[in-house]
Chain A
């Protein structure tokens, strides 16, 4: 009749485009697979973008639904609700819990051809018995990061042994009572466990069908005692890693050091971008004598990629999971953005791994150092109740730090809780000697 008004024109347009959508949508979904991928890493979408560009048929959407520590509970919930992600990142220590709850798919067949190409330490973390449940991302060469400028100002050398570390920690306190060499976090069982791996501790071990839980071994208790002495003497700070208090202390130079692993530079950069170029890095101190003197560090953090047991596209999901942890292009993006040390052996020759990390431009031999540390890192495995045991550790260690005593007894408490829990669940389990 009359000329359509603006509103009517818009409505018509909307109706038309909706109709087009309805016609086109089924055509797309027939030959294009949509996968969802849970990962908490900050730059992960940039890595996934490479895949999406190269694989127009399999589109992957990144979701940050769960943080590293929440993966078991959120994935169980999503699984129960019937819509878990197709692919998920999972820390090595949480993988066994996903397996026993039936949340992840068996990847033994797909991973078999890669076996020779994956570092044995990492392979061991994703394989239980003869079954491989995930594809490993990287390993965790442990290092001590320190403020080069401030330590030099105080005339203190970065320590090479734990004995020298204790001296250095006390020297820092003596020289400037506002500063600490580093902190001891009651909330960080992952790092503490790794420090005990260095003296040969194996918290969980699986031999055939027989589990051994050995958290309170004598060497591990000695490590606990070492840290108790430092905390009791106020030679190290006690704050929680990644808390705002800790972030402020890292940024303003109250804390001069950070015991962590290869991936720490981007994390420090996030907190203290102004300190770029002022950090130095040395391998983790070693014990100069006794058990484990030959070991460079332990297994802390690190993650693998697993496929959901309920994925509707398991083939494509496994393909993507293997790509993102093994493909050269994916790994070089990972190294550039997140400073990982890849589990895939041939990727360790990537050109990016011959350079210094951007945040520590002086450390030209950074990744060479990582390779040397990695070679001296023991192989361990995690058990099915790590999150429970770690929680007991946090509570007991929180008490111990406040009382400045009883660190070794914390390990007894964790041992008892972990052992009892596994016995109650019906595992065949023995305590360590």
Chain B
């Protein structure tokens, strides 16, 4: 006993203190280069602005403007309207995505399910399609003049659905997100389900539980941490909503260039040539994202701790 202990201690002591750094080094360097440095650069940019010098067309010169960009961003009605639209998309997308993902995961996890492997891959496959490609594809399915759904409706003598009105556009965008997101979330939940000890199920069956009761009383409570995780991913995904509406916007006037906050950031930075204002807005969005994530974690941790105890 003592002998083993000392030898273990010796083995640990033999490791040079530098070694752990060697392991985490690449990851730390990468995150400094790709996250921390751009973040700092954006903070610096958000405190600057331009003034035109010279007559006529003049020449733009960078100047320090303090928090002016932040004040403009905070009072920009378009930003908050964009947040509102983003919330609507999120309210449609997140419950349906997670609900479907959970349903599929539970179905695939029932004993004697057929074609499990095939179904799992088929449901996951849309996630493998890049967001922009998926948006293009759905864009063509929605677009009047080329839409197969509208054509089908017309040939059946039904009213043609309009996917591009100011109201229906929320569902059109949410549909792309759901289509792409269900598979990914299902895999996370399914993996978590596979990790649950089968002894629990055996015990439940001995006690006379049906499969439905097992799912409700055993699987769901044990899945809660995984569900929280997927909810968090979905929430962050919603705040970063950008590529779907951006890809669809040239097709319709139902989508403005400032439809959601990230599109506003892009518009300000690249179209309106205001990198500084764009940086300030993106800082604001980042702070709100972090706040929302922390809040979600806090609420669910209290809940799940209470529920399990």
Interface residues of A, Cβ cutoff 8 Å to B:
72-73, 76, 96-97, 99-102, 128-129, 186-187, 206, 208-209, 238-240, 243-246, 248-249, 254, 384-385, 387-388, 391, 394-395, 397-399, 401-402, 421, 425-427
Q: Are B145 and A249 in touch, CB under 8 angstroms?
A: yes
Q: Are A243 and B251 in touch, CB under 8 angstroms?
A: yes
Q: Are A385 and B250 in touch, CB under 8 angstroms?
A: no
Q: How far is the CB of B139 from chain A (nearest CB, A)?
A: 8
Taking CB atoms, residues of chain B closer than 8 Å to A206 are: 56-57
List 11 additional contacts besides A385-B273, A402-B254; criterion CB under 8 Å: A73-B271, A206-B57, A244-B140, A245-B251, A254-B145, A395-B257, A398-B252, A399-B256, A426-B52, A426-B58, A427-B58
Q: Are A100 and B146 in touch, CB under 8 angstroms?
A: no
Q: Are B271 and A187 in touch, CB under 8 angstroms?
A: no
Determine if B51 is an interface residue (Cβ-Cβ < 8 Å): yes
- CA distance in complex: A385, B144 (Å): 33
Closest to A401 in B: B253
Task: Say which residue of A99, A244, A391 sits within 8 Å of B146 (CB atoms).
Answer: A244
Offer 12 A-B interface pairs, CB within 8 angstroms, sorted by A.
A100-B52, A128-B56, A187-B250, A244-B140, A245-B146, A246-B145, A387-B271, A391-B267, A391-B271, A394-B253, A398-B254, A421-B272
Q: Are B55 and A238 in touch, CB under 8 angstroms?
A: no
Taking CB atoms, residues of chain B closer than 8 Å to A209 are: 55-56
Q: Are A245 and B256 in touch, CB under 8 angstroms?
A: no
In this complex, which of A245, A246, A391 has the most chain B Cβ atoms within 10 angstroms of its Cβ? A245
Q: How far is the CB of B232 from chain A (nearest CB, A)?
A: 32
- Contacts A243-B143, A387-B271, A388-B272 given: A425-B254 contact, CB under 8 Å? no
- CA distance in complex: A263, B256 (Å): 29
Taking CB atoms, residues of chain B closer than 8 Å to A238 are: 253
Q: Are B257 and A240 in touch, CB under 8 angstroms?
A: no
- Contacts A238-B253, A244-B140, A387-B271 given: A128-B57 contact, CB under 8 Å? yes
Determine if B60 is an interface residue (Cβ-Cβ < 8 Å): yes
Task: Say which residue of B267, B270, B273 sits within 8 Å of A101 (CB atoms).
Answer: B273
- CA distance in complex: A189, B254 (Å): 16
Q: How far is the CB of A150 from chain B (nearest CB, A)?
A: 17
Determine if B112 is an interface residue (Cβ-Cβ < 8 Å): no
What 5 A-B pairs come out closest when comparing CB atoms? A398-B253, A209-B55, A395-B256, A388-B272, A245-B145
Taking CB atoms, residues of chain A closer than 8 Å to B56 are: 128-129, 206, 208-209
Determine if B302 is an interface residue (Cβ-Cβ < 8 Å): no
Taking CB atoms, residues of chain A closer than 8 Å to B55 are: 129, 208-209
Q: Are B52 and A248 in touch, CB under 8 angstroms?
A: no
Taking CB atoms, residues of chain B closer than 8 Å to A101 are: 60, 273
- CA distance in complex: A208, B267 (Å): 31
Closest to A77 in B: B270
Q: Are B256 and A100 in touch, CB under 8 angstroms?
A: no
- CA distance in complex: A238, B57 (Å): 36
- CA distance in complex: A101, B166 (Å): 36
Q: Are A388 and B271 in touch, CB under 8 angstroms?
A: yes
In this complex, which of B58, B143, B256 has the most chain A Cβ atoms within 10 angstroms of its Cβ? B58
Q: How far is the CB of B21 from chain A (nearest CB, A)?
A: 32
Determine if B19 is an interface residue (Cβ-Cβ < 8 Å): no
Interface residues of B in 55-84 (CB under 8 A from A): 55-60
Interface residues of B in 163-177 (CB under 8 A from A): 165-166
Q: Are A248 and B60 in touch, CB under 8 angstroms?
A: no
Q: Are B270 and A425 in touch, CB under 8 angstroms?
A: no
- Contacts A187-B250, A427-B52 given: A391-B272 contact, CB under 8 Å? yes
Q: Mark B246-263, 1 if CB is under 8 A from A, else 0.
A: 000011111111100000
- CA distance in complex: A73, B146 (Å): 32
Taking CB atoms, residues of chain B closer than 8 Å to A398 are: 252-256
What DSSP secondary structure best describes chain A's contact surface?
helix
Task: Say which residue of B51, B145, B166, B253 sits within 8 Å of A186 (CB atoms).
Answer: B253
- Contacts A186-B253, A425-B51 given: A100-B57 contact, CB under 8 Å? yes
Q: How far is the CB of B48 from chain A (nearest CB, A)?
A: 13
- CA distance in complex: A397, B252 (Å): 11
- CA distance in complex: A425, B258 (Å): 21
Determine if B113 is an interface residue (Cβ-Cβ < 8 Å): no
- CA distance in complex: A385, B58 (Å): 12
Q: Are A73 and B270 in touch, CB under 8 angstroms?
A: yes
- CA distance in complex: A421, B270 (Å): 15
- CA distance in complex: A256, B274 (Å): 40
Q: Are A425 and B50 in touch, CB under 8 angstroms?
A: yes
Determine if B53 is an interface residue (Cβ-Cβ < 8 Å): yes
- CA distance in complex: A426, B52 (Å): 5
- CA distance in complex: A186, B250 (Å): 10
- CA distance in complex: A388, B272 (Å): 4
- CA distance in complex: A343, B261 (Å): 42
Closest to A241 in B: B250
Q: How far is the CB of A129 from chain B (nearest CB, A)?
A: 4
Q: How far is the CB of A67 from chain B (nearest CB, A)?
A: 11
Q: How far is the CB of A280 from chain B (nearest CB, A)?
A: 24
Taking CB atoms, residues of chain B closer than 8 Å to A245 are: 143-146, 251
- Contacts A73-B270, A243-B250 given: A394-B257 contact, CB under 8 Å? yes
Taking CB atoms, residues of chain B closer than 8 Å to A254 are: 145
- CA distance in complex: A73, B267 (Å): 11
Q: How far is the CB of A287 from chain B (nearest CB, A)?
A: 26
Closest to A245 in B: B145
- CA distance in complex: A100, B62 (Å): 12
- Contacts A244-B143, A245-B143, A248-B146 given: A402-B165 contact, CB under 8 Å? yes
- CA distance in complex: A167, B179 (Å): 46
- CA distance in complex: A199, B26 (Å): 64
Q: Are B253 and A100 in touch, CB under 8 angstroms?
A: no
- CA distance in complex: A312, B129 (Å): 42
Closest to B51 in A: A426
- CA distance in complex: A427, B145 (Å): 45
Q: How far is the CB of A248 from chain B (nearest CB, A)?
A: 4
- CA distance in complex: A208, B57 (Å): 10
Interface residues of B in 226-278 (CB under 8 A from A): 250-258, 267, 270-274
In this complex, which of B53, B57, B252 has the most chain A Cβ atoms within 10 angstroms of its Cβ? B57
Closest to B142 in A: A245
- CA distance in complex: A391, B60 (Å): 20
Q: Are B143 and A102 in touch, CB under 8 angstroms?
A: no
- CA distance in complex: A95, B250 (Å): 23
- CA distance in complex: A128, B57 (Å): 7
- CA distance in complex: A426, B274 (Å): 14
Q: Are A240 and B250 in touch, CB under 8 angstroms?
A: yes
Q: How far is the CB of B86 from chain A (nearest CB, A)?
A: 16
Q: Are A387 and B251 in touch, CB under 8 angstroms?
A: no
- Contacts A387-B272, A391-B272, A394-B256 given: A99-B251 contact, CB under 8 Å? no
- CA distance in complex: A246, B59 (Å): 39
